[in-house]
Amino acid sequence: GAVVSQHPSWVICKSGTSVKIECRSLDFQATTMFWYRQFPKQSLMLMATSNEGSKATYEQGVEKDKFLINHASLTLSTLTVTSAHPEDSSFYICSAPRSSYNEQFFGPGTRLTVL
């Protein structure tokens, strides 16, 4: 099956700093990728849709200026959490659809802890 990677797998940062998370599709091209956030013992909530060559589409209630998304190429999307605060601490997961498989492939996730 297709493989999606995320980097870093975990990160600890100080409040007020910015953190970048990368999502890569390793063996296929993805014009669209999705970013989810999962708080402890909760479900995955879609944050935004990352579109190669155009602006990301954000879900209601997600601050686009705080969660910057850049789909730099057909295999890479980045999520930057700007001016991170402790309430941004969460598990961030990306996914990339592969139409030939008619399914989405998930990255292993990134655990962000903001002190």
Partner 1 sequence: AQTVTQSQPEMSVQEAETVTLSCTYDTSESDYYLFWYKQPPSRQMILVIRQEAYKQQNATENRFSVNFQKAAKSFSLKISDSQLGDAAMYFCAFDTGTASKLTFGTGTRLQVTL
Residues engaged in binding partner 1 (CB under 8 A)? 34, 38, 42-46, 49, 91, 93, 95, 97-99, 101-104, 106, 108-109
Beta carbon nearer to partner 1, 47 or 81: 47
3-state secondary structure (DSSP) of residue 44: strand
Rounded to the nearest whole angstrom, what is the least distance from the CB of residue 16 to partner 1 in the complex?
27
Tell the smallest beta-carbon distance from residue 43 to partner 1 (Å). Answer: 5
Distance between CA 55 and CA 28 in Å, rounded? 21
Query: How many CB atoms are closer than 10 A to CB 48?
Result: 22
Least CB distance to partner 1 at residue 96 (A)? 9
DSSP state of 59: P
> 3: which DSSP letter?
-
